[in-house]
Structure 1
Amino acid sequence: MSRSPRTYELVLLGATGYTGKLTAEWISTNLPSDLKWAIAGRNAKKLQNVVDELTQLCPNHKAPDIETCAIEKDELTILANKTRLLINTVGPFMYYGEPVLAACAENGTHYLDCTGETPWYRDMIDRFDETAKRNSTIVIPQCGLDSVPADMMAFALQKYIRKELNASTLSVIFSLYAVKAGFSGGTTNTAVDLFSHYPLSRVASDMRPFSISPVRPTQPSNPPSASLLYRLFGLNYIPELAGVQTVGLMASIDACMVHRSWGLYQTIAEKSGRADIAYGPRFRFMEYMRAKNIMAGALFRFGVALGGLLLAFPPSRWILTPLIKKFFIPAPGEGPSKETMKKEFMSYRALAIADTDKKEKVLGKMDIAHGGYVITALTLSAAADLILRGDLAATEAGKLGGGILTPATLGEQYLEKLRSFGLNIEVGL
C-alpha cells in the first residue's frame, strides 16, 4: 500500500512502564541523533517526566515528542497513522495488545513488541497475518528477550552450516549457561495471569513446538538421547553444553518462535526455488538450562513443574495467584534498580548438528553484559533501527513485504546490528 507522509519515524507506546523506560533510554542513546520519534501513553505528566530524564541522559540528542493515547481503536488509528513504526511495550498483551497491533496492521505501520504470550501470538497470526500482508506491514511480536537470543542463534548456526558445510541443519540445542538478572512486576504478573486467561487445553496446544509455524516437518529429528538416570529425573547430559541440562524457563516460548522462523524460511525456499535459505526439512530446536549437578537440576525441574501445576488448575490457582502477587513479585512497573542492573548478565551456549552422514557439530556462544530487560530494550531498538535506517528490502522480511513475521526474517543485517549493540553471537566448528 502507498503510505502518506508520517510525522514520526518511530513511536514508543508504553514508555512510562518498566520495560518502556529502558527502551526509551536505549533508543535515545543508541539510535541516530536525528531520529524523529515520540513516546506515547495515557498520562502526559508521566510521559513528560520520561522526556526530562532522556534530556538529562542525552542532552545532544533531540528529545522525543509526547503523544497521549488510550488503548482505544480511534485513538490508536490516529497514532498509527503518525508513524512509520510503532514499538509496543504495554502488557499483558492478551489484555491490551490486540487493538494496538490491529491499528498498525490495518494502517501500514510496522510493529514490534516484547510479548512472550504464545497463545496471544497465535491469535494475532490467525486474525491479522493476511491484513498485514495486504497492507505491506512488517509485524514482529516477541522481539525482546522472548525470543531474539534463541531465534537469532538458531538462524546464525544454520547459516554457518549452509555456508561452510553446504548442508541442512538437523537440530539446534540452545542452553542458558549462566545468568544473573532480576525480574519486573509486569512480566511476572503476565506469567501468572496466562493460566487464568486461557483454558489449559489451549495453553498446552499453543505451546507445542510447531504450533505457530506455517508448515510442519515431515520427519523432524529426534531429541538428544540420555541415560536412564538422567531420563528418570527429566534431565539431559550434553558435554558440548557443559554437562547437565534441566528445563529451560522459556523453552516452549522460544521453540515456537524458532520453528515459526524455520517454517517461514522453508516456505520461502519452496516457493522461490532458493533452497539455500532453508534451515532443512528435518530441523528441530530444543532449549535447556545448565544445572550444577543432577540434584540441582532435578529440584529445579520439580519446582517448575509443581508451580505450573498449581497455577494451571483451580482452586489452587485462585488461592495462590493473589498471594504470589502480594508477597513474591514486584508491582507492575517495578523491577531491578539501576545499580542492580549494572551487575546483571546472561550467557548462552548452543550446539547445532548438520544433517549429513558425519553429523558435524557446530558450537554457538552468546555472552551479554546485561539482564533480560535491558536485552529487550536492545533487541527492540536494534530491530527498529534496521527497519527504519537499514537495507530492509534486502532482508527476507522486506522481500515478503509484510505479515506476522519473526526476528530471524530480518536476517544477517539484524545479526550485525545486534552485535554492534552488544549482543554478540559467535558460531564455529
Structure 2
Amino acid sequence: MVDILLIGATGFCGRHAARYILEHPQRSKFTVGLAARSRSKLLSIGLPVDDTVQIFELDILDERAVESAVKQAKVVLNCVGPFWHYGTPVVLACARNGIHYVDITGETPWILDIIRKFDYLATKTHAIIVPSCGIDSVPADISVHLASQTLAHAPLGTSTTSAALHGGVPTGTIASFLAVFEDVPLHLLLFSAHDWSLSPVPGARSPRPALVYRLGPGSREVGGVAVFNRVNRALVQRTAGLREYARREARLCGGGAGAAGCSGDPACYGPAFTYTEFMPTGNAVSACVLSSVIGLVFATLTFIAPVRWVFKRLMMLTSSVPADHTLERGRMKYVNVTASDEPSPRYAKTVIKGRGDPGTLLTAVMVVESALTLLLDELPPLAARGGVLTPMTALGDGLIRRLRANGRIEIETAVVGSPDDDVEESKKTR
C-alpha cells in the first residue's frame, strides 16, 4: 500500500509533480508510488527516487491493471491527459473502490461525463473525486470561496476575475484542448458550455459575452474574454450548486448535519451569484481584438473540422518542451472582485500571485497539495459524503493554508471600497 499514487510521472507536468512530492517538507509523513508506462524511462528522467518509492509499470488503457494499481493507494493523483481519452478508467476504479482522486483536467465535457457516470457510485463508496486541481480551476474556486468568507457569507452578486498568466503552453494542454473539439460528441460539447452545466441546481444567468470586460463598476482594469472562462465558470458554479443543494437537503432533513446523510454548508453563494473571467489587456481596443479572436477560434474549432485539422498541425509544430530553467520565469496573478448582493453592495477583493510557470510548476504545486490535503488535513463537511466534488467543497481552507505555506503562491483578501483599491492598504485600514 502507498498513501499517494501519482499516475503519469514521466509526462511534462507529471514529472514536475513527482519531483515536488518527493522533495516535499512533509515527505516523512506519507508514502509515494509513481506510475508510468515504462519503468526504465521513469528511472531515467532524474527524479529523486529511493527505496521508499514504489514503481508501477502501468498501461492506463488496461482497466484491470489500473484497478489493481489504484486499489493499492489511498489517494490517486492523475496527470495523464487528454482525460477524455485516458481519465475515465482511473476515476471508475477510484469510485468503485472508495479511493480518493485528484487531477489537473480542464476538460468540462469530461467532468460532466464522470459526474453522470460515477458521482452516485462515489457517494456510496465515499470516494472523494476532485477534478481540476491545477491552474484550472483552483485559483478561480479559491477566489470566490475567500470572497464569501470575507463578506461574512452574505449573498453574493457578480464575481469577476482578471487572470494574467505568463508562461508556456505544454503539449499536453494543447492535446487536451483539441481533444475536446475533435472527439467529444457535439451535443455534449454544446451542453457543457451552458450555464450551470456541472451544477446540481441552476443559478442566475451569467452576463452575456462582451468585447470588453471590467473588474467592477468604474474599474480602470479592462480586458478580453479569457480562454478558460467557461471552464473555470462551470467549476465555480458547481461549487455554488453543491453548497446550495446541501443547504436544501439539510433543511428538508430537519436541521442539518445530524440528519442522516445531510450536511449543511453556511457558505452558500446565493441566488444572484454569477462568475466571469477575463484576461487583462491594458486598453479597450486590445480587449475588443482579443475577445473577437477567441470567439472566432472557438466557433470555428467547434463546427468546422478542416480548421481543427489545420489548427492541430500548427499547434503541434510550434509547440515545444521548455527547459526547466525557463519555467521559473513564468508567473500568475489572479485578481477577483466579488460584490455582495445587498442594497448597498460591499466588495471583497482577492489577489492570488504565483511564481513559476502556471501550467506546469504552479499546477504541480496545486495538485500535489490537493492530494496531501485529502490525505493529511481536516476536510469540509461536504467531503464526508464523497462524490465528484470541487477543490473548495472537498478541500476548502486546508488547501488554502497549504498553498499559502508553499512559498510560490501568495493569497490575500480584504473588503475594499472600490474594485481598484489595493488589498494591502484595505487590510491596514480595517
TM-score using structure 2 length: 0.87
Deviation at 1:397, TM superposition (A): 3.9
Of 230, 235, 239, 1:257 maps to 235
Of 122, 127, 130, 1:140 maps to 130
Report the residue type matching 2:389 in the other structure. L
Report the residue type matching 2:54 in the other structure. D
The 1:250–1:322 alpha-carbon spacing in structure 2 relative to 1, beyond 3 Å, is: closer
Note the 1:413-424 alignment, pairs <5 A: 413-421=398-406, 422-424=408-410
Give RMSD over aligned pairs. Answer: 2.0
Q: Quote the Cα distance in structure 2 between the aligned partners of 1:100 and 1:382.
A: 20
1:340-378 deviation line (CA, Å, top 9, x unaligned): 111110111111111111011111111111222111111
Q: Quote the Cα distance in structure 2 between the aligned partners of 1:254 and 1:322.
A: 23
Residues 171, 283 of structure 1: 8 Å contact kept = yes
Q: Quote the Cα distance in structure 2 between the aligned partners of 1:221 and 1:169.
A: 14
- The answer for the alignment partner of 1:209 in structure 2 is 195
- The answer for the alignment partner of 2:256 in structure 1 is none
Q: Secondary structure at the match of 1:153?
A: helix
Residues 241, 350 of structure 1: 8 Å contact kept = no
Residues 104, 110 of structure 1: 8 Å contact kept = yes
- The answer for the alignment partner of 1:4 in structure 2 is none
- The answer for the alignment partner of 1:38 in structure 2 is 33
- The answer for the alignment partner of 2:58 in structure 1 is 69
Of 264, 268, 272, 1:278 maps to 268
The 1:73–1:199 alpha-carbon spacing in structure 2 relative to 1, beyond 3 Å, is: closer
Q: Secondary structure at the match of 1:270?
A: helix
Q: Secondary structure at the match of 2:176?
A: helix
- The answer for the alignment partner of 1:18 in structure 2 is 12
- The answer for the alignment partner of 1:396 in structure 2 is 381
Deviation at 1:310, TM superposition (A): 2.9
Q: Secondary structure at the match of 1:358?
A: coil
Residues 59, 66 of structure 2: 8 Å contact kept = yes
Q: Quote the Cα distance in structure 2 between the aligned partners of 1:41 and 1:269.
A: 42
Q: Quote the Cα distance in structure 1 between the aligned partners of 2:54 and 2:166.
A: 35
- The answer for the alignment partner of 1:181 in structure 2 is 167
The 1:235–1:200 alpha-carbon spacing in structure 2 relative to 1, beyond 3 Å, is: farther
Number of residue-to-residue matches in the alignment: 397
Of 96, 111, 116, 1:121 maps to 111
Q: Quote the Cα distance in structure 1 between the aligned partners of 2:188 and 2:307.
A: 17
1:381-418 deviation line (CA, Å, top 9, x unaligned): 111111111123xx134332x10000011111221112
Deviation at 1:302, TM superposition (A): 2.1
Residues 206, 275 of structure 2: 8 Å contact kept = no
Report the residue type matching 1:203 in the other structure. L
Q: Quote the Cα distance in structure 1 between the aligned partners of 2:355 and 2:220.
A: 20
Of 170, 192, 213, 2:157 maps to 170
Residues 269, 277 of structure 1: 8 Å contact kept = no
Report the residue type matching 1:376 in the other structure. T
Residues 94, 120 of structure 1: 8 Å contact kept = yes
Residues 162, 276 of structure 1: 8 Å contact kept = no
Structure 1 segments, 4+ long, off by >3 Å, are: 221-224, 237-242
Q: Quote the Cα distance in structure 1 between the aligned partners of 2:126 and 2:325.
A: 42
Note the 1:293-372 alignment, pairs <5 A: 293-317=283-307, 319-330=309-320, 335-372=321-358
Unaligned runs of 5+ in 1: 1-6, 56-60, 225-230
- The answer for the alignment partner of 1:382 in structure 2 is 369
Unaligned runs of 5+ in 2: 252-263, 416-430
Residues 33, 62 of structure 1: 8 Å contact kept = no
- The answer for the alignment partner of 2:423 in structure 1 is none
Deviation at 1:156, TM superposition (A): 0.8
The 1:199–1:168 alpha-carbon spacing in structure 2 relative to 1, beyond 3 Å, is: same
- The answer for the alignment partner of 2:397 in structure 1 is 412
Q: Quote the Cα distance in structure 2 between the aligned partners of 1:29 and 1:80.
A: 23
TM-score using structure 1 length: 0.87
Higher mean C-alpha displacement, 269-278 vs 192-201 = 269-278
The percent identity for this pair of structures is 26
Higher mean C-alpha displacement, 15-24 vs 293-302 = 293-302
Q: Secondary structure at the match of 2:151?
A: helix
Q: Quote the Cα distance in structure 1 between the aligned partners of 2:398 and 2:96.
A: 27
Deviation at 1:420, TM superposition (A): 1.1
Report the residue type matching 1:337 in the other structure. A
- The answer for the alignment partner of 1:48 in structure 2 is 43
Q: Quote the Cα distance in structure 1 between the aligned partners of 2:312 and 2:158.
A: 41
Residues 362, 428 of structure 1: 8 Å contact kept = yes
Residues 109, 189 of structure 2: 8 Å contact kept = yes
Q: Secondary structure at the match of 1:285?
A: strand
Of 150, 166, 178, 2:140 maps to 150
Note the 1:83-122 alignment, pairs <5 A: 83-122=73-112
